[in-house]
């Protein structure tokens, strides 16, 4: 393999610098001594380390070959990424000037791993800060092969664990079908609070050797591919926050931390893992797969000062000034840690959220161990400290900081006690140990959610100075995750913390003082931390005056004023419905009140106290409360309503109060939960109270006082909204960019043999008009579908369509299940194709309902499907499937929706409408009003069947059918209009004889039946009713000798289809002027299991005699 020639010009540069620095002009005649020239501002990178891989094996003076599954370096098996390989030295070789790392199948020394590969690093052999890192690499092709060339913060790192110590990914390739490589910087905090900045570069890394480089200095990191500068991350973006030690606690790194300390090189080829997808071990085109490295080189910039790495840009690859470093062009914005501090004690117990509606005073709790411990707040001899806490114990006892009312605290963003993830919370305090009275050996520091559920750690007093103040910092994760079960309890619950800190000397008598006790937490900007605010103070609306929070004040609108808002309650023009006045009450116990009058002028109106939108979600567990005195209701039927608005059209809607406070003061309390269930969004409250009356013709006079939002209420709103969903898409803007109404989409990618490759989506809101997932169709519905429908299709923006991969595009609704949701549900929808060929092989389309368990990797716990792949008709059809939700599914996710899986941009479109998910009717259920039927179609549809039996002189002659009930063919059935009553809508069903049968003219009797049919199950047993509206046509309807009846019938296929049940209602004399309601009743027991249930209409006619009867509003259901 040819090698590029290295030309190092450092010596000539240094020589020139020496000559220039020694040359001064001493000729006084031409001006005397000259100043030395300014120091150079640029230089060329200098090669400081390289491996050209020219030997016969890996140079172990430069590289350490890492082996195993990652557990040897403290990572979970799979190297912390769920990787599938076991690293061995045997998978790494050097040949023909090239490093070869080979991924193989089936030769692992560990039976838990099916693959082997190689990984090597320079830690301890070559560690460096700043420079240009460069390699020439060819990566293998194949799903699941994850090739990487990167750097990692070296041990011992002052920043602790990954990713606070930093990582620079010079190049990563994930074996994906779409060719690109990625460059990434990892920084922030120790996992799981790590963050990153990343960008991809479109290139096929498998088609040969490519040069990948990073230039890293004290200001920024730049990424290059084949000399093309494509990404920059500035030190304004990266940061770190790390726990240093017990004295200093958590610290923020310097401006360019963590990338201001040593890193080392790593090159590896992983198999599988979180971003790489699942490999196919049987794919001979993938395994063995080889990562090839021609060379790896590290350069550094020799320009003084040599410790910042600056000054050598453009000396190898040209820097693109338009690859900006902050914002734009896909580059990340400035970031930093966000630190929140909660004072628990400083001169006195702290007050959380002081000055807000969530203000929460803290208190000091004491466990005195039968008088052994005493606590006092004393003035310290150090006058700068003020008041401090002093404890004295003869042995045992502790003090706590907690809520004196006994309420608990919910911590968030600080980790949990029941796992070992390390977060950025810490307990900090100053302590003074009086050595003359202290024999204790340790200070035990804990946090609990009620004894014995406590976590604690012990600070050895031998490690602390005595007789002087010293600061102690303890990582909260270390505290709450340590010594679990020491007192017989379990892990403490961070969502129900009782004591924010417990301080207890152990091992003997002690006298100590404490000051500046704090709970501190730091997290990335996107993952906040803290103590959940609990609103504790009422938000006043009116108490003697309008609270300034309600910036608009009082107003009213009514239909008489064209719903224009008016704010003058005196009704100066005499045209307003509503008048009001703030006045002094005649009641001695009250001060200012508001008198309100609704005039009985027949207009509709509301009175309100309003503001700009405000977030009052902190009151969700509380109530809206006010005092009311009604002087005159104005009529016997009039009632008062209240509501809360949240920016039109958002509102709780009117809540009818009835007729309270008639002639006396009464406190009205409406739980926020009730208002939220009625539609209120408390994050955008725009009116603190809205009042109205129900009788617009009654003059109503009343007075209100003490209007406020209370944070707590004793009234429990028991209503649980049922699990249900319906969408007909009529309200969606066809030009919108998103479908809305909580529709979600998600993409998964598979190989042709069904192996998973990757997925995308969190999920995300379903897009519209983007060539992916969905659009709104207009004008493609029948009468039942209205004007707008939803058209669903694949994600044609995914380029892997052209790479032989199958893209499965899912669009669905998602709900969190609770125990009350248990039951059987029906998923129903209308569907058709937009045109012939709109869906074609190899596309597979489904409708589905499934549940996913988030506690088990979102595994599918139940699923039912309807195959929509073979839809070919442009006629609408209704589909439905039942799904059982069990008690065990509480806490799981319910999804119902649609998928299409296809490749190579094959057509995949279907149209759906009237999507309904609701609790299934028990037993057999059918209902129709025939309005959705297509009067122009050749069949009635919706499962209706027809059958005829022919008789001669009362004896059976022959039969035919069943077959789909025809429409407008002269036989059996047709849609009809023009004689409906108000209850029948527009369209109904006409049932008559088969006038296409010529035996009408031969004296034979044709019994024509049209009906619904289903297989009866033992689980359907019960008492049923078959109800319907019926009348004969005004003219030409049923007449003697024709007879007609409605029936419920069960046929036994194991007994020659003999009738097991046959219940009828005679309709021969049905009126031809008035619609009437009829009911057929039958009890169907478990013995009918597996038999054929029919319900419908029949007539017997001959000689072409009239036989028509109209039917509508058909219902067949179990009697509950």
Active site residues: 167, 172
Q: How far apart are CA 10 and CA 16, in angstroms?
A: 10
Q: Are 796 and 888 in contact (CB under 8 A)?
A: no
Beta bridge partners of 117: 87
Residue with tokens 């039958």: 1082
Closest CA to 1111 of 1041, 1002, 997, 1011: 1011
Dihedral angle computed from the Cα positions of residues 462, 463, 468 and 470, in that order, rounded to the nearest 10 degrees: -150
* Beta carbons within 8 Å of 93's beta carbon, 6+ residues apart: 57, 58, 99, 100, 102
Cα-to-chain-centroid distance, residue 379 = 52
Query: 103-140 in b/e burial notation, b at 16+ Cβ within 10 A?
Result: bbbeebeeeebbbbbbbbbbbeebbbbbbbbbbbbbbb
What is residue 462's three-state secondary structure?
helix
Cis-peptide, bond into residue 1103, ω within 30° of zero: no
Q: How far apart are CA 371 and CA 395, in angstroms?
A: 10
The single-letter DSSP state of residue 563 is T
Q: How far apart are CA 935 and CA 949, in angstroms?
A: 27
Q: How far apart are CA 915 and CA 264, in angstroms?
A: 57
Q: How far apart are the first and last CA of the chain?
A: 84
Between CA 186 and CA 191, with CA 189 as vertex, the angle to 5 degrees is 80
Q: How far apart are CA 578 and CA 566, in angstroms?
A: 10
Which segments of 1032-1108 are extended strands (E)? 1043-1052, 1058-1066, 1076-1084, 1092-1101
Dihedral angle computed from the Cα positions of residues 727, 733, 737 and 740, in that order, rounded to the nearest 10 degrees: -30
Paired sense of beta strands 744-750 and 926-928, if any: unpaired
Q: How far apart are CA 1064 and CA 1076, in angstroms?
A: 17
Closest CA to 323 of 194, 202, 232, 226: 232
As given in the structure block, the two tokens for residue 984 are: 């029948």
What is residue 16's three-state secondary structure?
helix
Query: 294-322 in b/e burial notation, b at 16+ Cβ within 10 A?
Result: bbbbbbbbbbeeeebbbbbbebbbeeeee
Q: How far apart are CA 612 and CA 602, in angstroms?
A: 30
Burial group, residue 252, by CB count within 10 angstroms (0-12, 13-18, 19+): middle
Q: Report how far apart, in Å, the C-alpha atoms of 971 and of each of 539, 968, 1029, 1043 are.
A: 72, 7, 21, 16
Sequence-ordered alpha helix ranges (H) in 608-709:
672-677
* Beta carbons within 8 Å of 362's beta carbon, 6+ residues apart: 344, 345, 349, 350, 351, 352, 401, 402, 403, 404, 500
Between CA 932 and CA 941, with CA 936 as vertex, the angle to 5 degrees is 50
CB atoms closer than 10 angstroms to residue 692: 22
Cis-peptide, bond into residue 258, ω within 30° of zero: yes
As given in the structure block, the two tokens for residue 611 are: 């503001």
Task: With residue 1012 as reference, give the H or E element that holds it.
Answer: strand 1005-1015
């Amino acid at each position: 393999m040819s090698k590029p020639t290295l030309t190092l010009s450092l010596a000539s540069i240094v020589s020139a610098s020496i000559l220039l620095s020694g040359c001064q002009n001493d000729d006084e005649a031409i001006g005397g001594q000259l100043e030395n020239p300014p120091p150079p501002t640029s230089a060329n990178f200098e090669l400081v380390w390289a491996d050209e891989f020219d030997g016969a094996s890996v140079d172990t003076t430069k590289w350490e070959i890492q082996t195993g599954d990652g557990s040897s370096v403290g990572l979970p098996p799979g190297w912390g990424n769920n990787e599938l390989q076991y690293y061995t030295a045997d998978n790494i070789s050097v040949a023909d000037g090239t490093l070869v790392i080979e991924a193989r199948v089936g030769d692992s020394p560990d039976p838990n791993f099916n693959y082997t590969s190689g990984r090597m690093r320079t830690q301890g052999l070559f560690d460096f800060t700043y420079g240009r890192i460069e390699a020439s690499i060819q990566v293998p092709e194949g799903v699941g092969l994850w090739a990487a060339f990167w750097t990692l913060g070296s041990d011992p790192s002052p920043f602790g664990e990954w990713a606070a110590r930093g990582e620079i990914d010079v190049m990563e390739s994930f074996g994906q079908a779409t060719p690109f490589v990625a460059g990434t910087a990892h920084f922030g905090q120790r996992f799981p609070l790590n963050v990153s900045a990343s960008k991809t570069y479109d290139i096929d890394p498998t088609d040969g050797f490519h040069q990948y480089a990073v230039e890293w200095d004290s200001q920024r990191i730049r990424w290059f591919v084949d000399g093309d500068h494509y990404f920059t991350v500035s030190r304004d973006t990266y940061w770190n926050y790390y726990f240093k030690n017990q004295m200093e606690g958590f610290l923020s790194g310097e401006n360019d931390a963590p990338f201001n300390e040593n890193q080392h090189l790593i090159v590896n080829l992983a198999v599988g893992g979180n971003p790489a997808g699942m490999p196919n071990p049987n794919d001979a085109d993938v395994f063995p797969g080889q990562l090839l490295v021609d060379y790896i080189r590290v350069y550094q910039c020799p320009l003084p000062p040599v410790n910042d790495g600056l000054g050598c840009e453009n000396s190898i690859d040209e820097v693109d000034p338009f690859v900006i470093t902050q914002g734009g062009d896909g580059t990340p914005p400035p970031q930093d840690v966000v630190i929140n501090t909660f004072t628990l004690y400083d001169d006195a117990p702290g007050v959380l959220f002081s000055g807000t509606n969530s203000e929460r005073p803290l208190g000091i709790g004491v466990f005195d161990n039968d008088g052994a411990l005493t606590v006092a707040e004393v003035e310290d001899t150090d006058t700068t400290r003020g008041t401090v806490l002093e404890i004295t114990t003869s042995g045992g006892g502790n003090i706590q900081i907690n809520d004196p009312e006994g309420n608990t605290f919910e911590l968030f963003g600080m980790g949990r006690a029941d796992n070992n993830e390390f977060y950025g919370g810490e307990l900090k305090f100053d302590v003074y140990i009086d050595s003359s009275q202290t024999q204790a050996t340790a200070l035990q520091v804990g946090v609990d959610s009620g004894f014995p559920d406590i976590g604690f750690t012990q600070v050895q007093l031998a490690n602390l100075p005595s007789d002087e103040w010293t600061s102690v910092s303890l990582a909260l994760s270390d505290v709450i995750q340590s010594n679990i079960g020491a007192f017989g309890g379990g892990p403490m619950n961070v969502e129900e913390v009782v004591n924010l800190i417990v301080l207890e000397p152990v091992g003997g008598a002690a006298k100590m003082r404490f000051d500046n006790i704090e709970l501190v937490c730091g997290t990335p900007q996107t993952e906040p931390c803290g103590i959940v605010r609990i609103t504790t103070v009422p938000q006043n609306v009116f108490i003697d005056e309008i609270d300034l929070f309600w910036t608009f004040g009082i107003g009213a609108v009514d239909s008489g004023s064209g719903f224009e808002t008016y704010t003058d309650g005196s009704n100066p023009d005499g045209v307003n419905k509503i008048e009001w006045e703030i006045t002094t009450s005649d009641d001695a116990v009250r001060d200012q009140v508001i008198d309100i009058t609704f005039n009985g002028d027949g207009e509709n109106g509301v009175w309100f106290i309003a503001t700009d939108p405000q977030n009052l979600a902190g009151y969700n567990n509380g109530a809206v409360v006010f005092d009311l005195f009604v002087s005159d209701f104005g009529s016997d039927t009039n009632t008062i309503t209240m509501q809360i608005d949240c920016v039109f059209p958002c509102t709780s809607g009117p809540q009818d109060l009835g007729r309270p406070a008639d002639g006396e003061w009464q406190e009205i309390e409406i739980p926020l939960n009730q208002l939220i269930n009625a539609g209120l969004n408390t994050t955008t409250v725009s009116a603190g109270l809205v009042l109205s009356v129900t009788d617009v013709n009654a003059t109503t006079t009343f007075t209100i006082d003490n209007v406020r939002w209370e944070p707590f209420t004793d009234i429990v709103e028991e209503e649980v909204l049922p699990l249900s969903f319906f969408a007909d898409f009529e309200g969606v803007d066809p030009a919108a960019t998103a479908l809305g109404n909580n529709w979600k989409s998600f993409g998964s990618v598979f190989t042709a043999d069904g192996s998973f490759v990757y997925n995308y989506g969190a999920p995300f809101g379903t897009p519209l008009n983007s060539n992916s997932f969905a659009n709104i169709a207009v004008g493609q519905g029948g009468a039942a579908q209205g004007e707008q429908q939803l058209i669903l299709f694949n994600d044609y923006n995914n380029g892997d369509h052209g790479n032989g991969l199958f893209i499965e595009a899912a669009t669905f609704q998602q709900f969190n299940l609770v125990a009350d949701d248990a039951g059987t549900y029906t998923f129903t929808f209308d569907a058709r194709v937009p045109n012939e060929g709109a869906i074609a092989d190899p596309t597979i389309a489904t409708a589905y309902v499934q549940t996913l368990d988030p506690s088990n990797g979102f595994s599918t716990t139940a699923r039912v499907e309807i195959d929509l792949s073979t839809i070919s008709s442009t006629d609408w059809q209704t589909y439905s499937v039942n799904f059982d939700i069990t008690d065990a599914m509480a806490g799981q996710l319910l999804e119902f929706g649609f998928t299409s899986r296809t490749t190579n941009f094959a057509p995949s479109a279907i149209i759906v409408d009237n999507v309904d998910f609701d609790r299934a009717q028990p037993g057999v259920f059918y209902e129709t009003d025939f309005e959705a039927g297509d009067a122009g179609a050749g069949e009635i549809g919706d499962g209706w069947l027809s059958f005829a039996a022919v008789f001669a002189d009362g004896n059976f002659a022959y039969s035919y059918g069943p077959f789909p009930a025809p429409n407008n063919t002269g036989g059996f059935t047709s849609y009809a209009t023009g004689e409906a009553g108000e209850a029948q809508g527009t369209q109904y069903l006409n049932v008559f004889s088969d006038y296409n049968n010529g035996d009408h003219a031969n004296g034979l009797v044709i019994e024509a039946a049209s009906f619904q049919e289903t297989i009866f199950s033992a689980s359907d047993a019960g008492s049923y009713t078959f109800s319907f509206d019926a009348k004969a046509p005004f003219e030409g309807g049923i007449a003697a000798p024709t007879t007609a009846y409605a029936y419920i019938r069960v046929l036994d296929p194991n007994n020659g289809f003999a009738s097991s049940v046959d219940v009828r209602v005679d309709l021969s004399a049905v009126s031809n002027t008035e619609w009437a309601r009829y009911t057929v009743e039958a009890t169907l027991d478990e013995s009918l299991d597996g038999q054929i249930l029919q319900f419908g209409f029949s007539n017997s006619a001959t000689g072409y005699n009239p036989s028509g009867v109209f039917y509508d509003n058909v219902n067949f259901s179990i009697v509950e």
